[in-house]
Structure 1
């Protein structure tokens, strides 16, 4: 199966393929699960299930295309953000909010990432790493270097930073079901996202800013 990312990113130009992606997305949001069948997707889209194989190879190919489609906008914004004439701290603040809002806009995104990285094929894991993990890591590495050069950030290992930031943003959504059962917390809402963005800003900036910059940020 040819599942190269450039091919999948172009599926939106094909009306039939796009119908299948939209249907899969809507079903996952409605059911709060990525466990949707090809027959359900076909029925929702009004497209013959056999066309999934034609356009995507199989269900995992469709899921990969959906993740690539939804992540494309966020990935394209990384270079734009890095080029802005604002401080590294301001860029980081926007980046933190961007990750959380992307997961909220596409509530199945983090589960797709986990599935394709850990439960699908080695090929799928490689591709998610190439079009999602690697660009995000590279962006954060360059932003950290910019912040250190500007005298705003202390020296931080980019891999540890990625693990901390992306892991914490991911777990708001990935761990919500378990927390709901354990302590009865409600679903992730816009208000929850806003509060979590503030929380993550305080947490990350408290650890990464140089002492004098942290004092200024707290004022």
Structure 2
């Protein structure tokens, strides 16, 4: 899986061949084809693997966080790409650009919803502790994810506006502003 994501990020979905992935993985092309059948299936499986790995790493970090505010900061850090060309985000953008059948769309929706559920859990924990404002969880998650997805595109594209400012700080500040309980400066 690591070999596949690296080859895809370097060459792009259209240019990468199963033989490129096989060579990086130290396997035969036939072995790769046996397990995945076709490139579209491989891309989805690599994306699912990548998201599971990232989700596990996020969960481990969140369990060590001292507060919902710290978990929110971690969420933003794990959600946004780290730099232009971030391999995980490159894979997302390339997979989303392809045509998908219903099963593929269900998988992609489940991957997205896992992040939305993590964010909603952080929000609800913060609200229960009185640390976050009583905003509608569903509406907040929609707004937050839409903003983060937009910023992700900017980061991946390498927009100059983020050369001297942090997209992570910008996003976290916007979310914290919305979640600040009434009466707190």
TM-score by length of 1: 0.67
> Contact (CA 8 Å) 2:133, 2:181: kept in 1 or not?
yes
Extract unaligned runs of 5+ from structure 1.
Answer: 1-20
- 2:133 equivalent among 145, 148, 154: 154
Give 1:58-97 correspondences, 5 Å limit.
58-81=38-61, 83-84=63-64, 86-97=66-77
Distance 1:200 1:57, change over 3 A: same
Extract unaligned runs of 5+ from structure 2.
Answer: none
Aligned residues: 182
Q: CA RMSD in A?
A: 3.2
Give 1:35-50 correspondences, 5 Å limit.
35=14, 36-42=16-22, 44-45=24-25, 47-50=27-30
Cα separation, 2, equivalents of 1:99 and 1:166 = 9
- Higher relative contact order, chain-length normalized (CA < 8 Å, sep 6+): 2
Larger helix percent: 1
- 1:137 equivalent among 97, 116, 122: 116
TM-score by length of 2: 0.77
Distance 1:135 1:105, change over 3 A: same
